[in-house]
Amino acid sequence: MEIQARAKINWTLNVVGRRGDGYHLLDMLMQPLALHDTLRIEPADGLSLAIDGADGLSAGQDNLILKAARALKETAGISRGARIRLTKRIPMGAGLGGGSADCAAALKGLNAFWGINDPLDALCALGVKLGADVPFCLHDAARRAQGIGESLSPIESRVFPMVLIQPCAALSTKEVFAAYHQAAVSPPDTEKAALALAAGDLRALKAAASNVLESASVPLRPQIATAKEALYQAGAGFAQMTGSGSVVFGAFETEEAADQAFDFLKTVYSTCIRTETAL
């Protein structure tokens, strides 16, 4: 079996509170991308993982794919194994949800591969214990995510041509949130941003949307602001940092505009990806 693990972007990200256990309460508009990793699953007695395309990523027991597999086995009470090979295409430390996407793909793929056939809600209940973005990745569609990310409701969007830039190394999510608590930020108008997405109106989206973690990140990583400006100069209708960074994405009105921007920006940035949003 082969299953795709699609990256995601945050059209908006707002911090609206904090739980007693330290988890931040969020309100986000998110959408998957065509950009994806691939998991190949084969029968085996035990559980094993091999990784192509990411030399720095551990294939050991701490990998989220193996954590997901063990959690599913334990919950279902089965003893079957699997040999899993991950082909990595989503940049790491990017805010694109690559680890969560891989985890979700493992849950969804092994759920079918082992014949467990748990419903989506059950997989989400298991997935949120492994990562806050895992339920969104299991839904694999445009959603408004609230709570710590587990409360999901459908939103309308469309396919937007995209260019992604990773202009610098990542900070840890912990560092970004620490900076957020010291920064002056402008929260998004999430309702208006959702209406703009439904209408496919990038101009209205630009006026309504924001990622509050971007404001906190720019003083620590000024390359974020430079990359965002480069995307606008190249013709993006809307550009923003995704998640806690470090990728900045640009959404374009047409395929031709995105192609032209990509052809130029890939000569400036070593990590520059042409993709599109997915429905």
For the annotated catalytic residues, the residue numbers are 8, 133
Do β-strands 82-87 and 47-52 pair in parallel, antiparallel, or remain unpaired? parallel
Q: Are 91 and 118 in contact (CB under 8 A)?
A: no
Closest CA to 30 of 206, 173, 149: 149
Q: Which of 210, 207, 211 is nearest to 196 (CA)?
A: 207
- Which CA distances in Å does 252 have to 9, 155, 203? 14, 20, 11
Longest CA pairwise span in the chain (Å): 55
263: CB partners within 8 A, 6+ apart: none
User: How far apart, in Å, do the first and last CA atoms of the chain sit?
Assistant: 22
Dist. CA 240–CA 125, nearest whole Å: 30
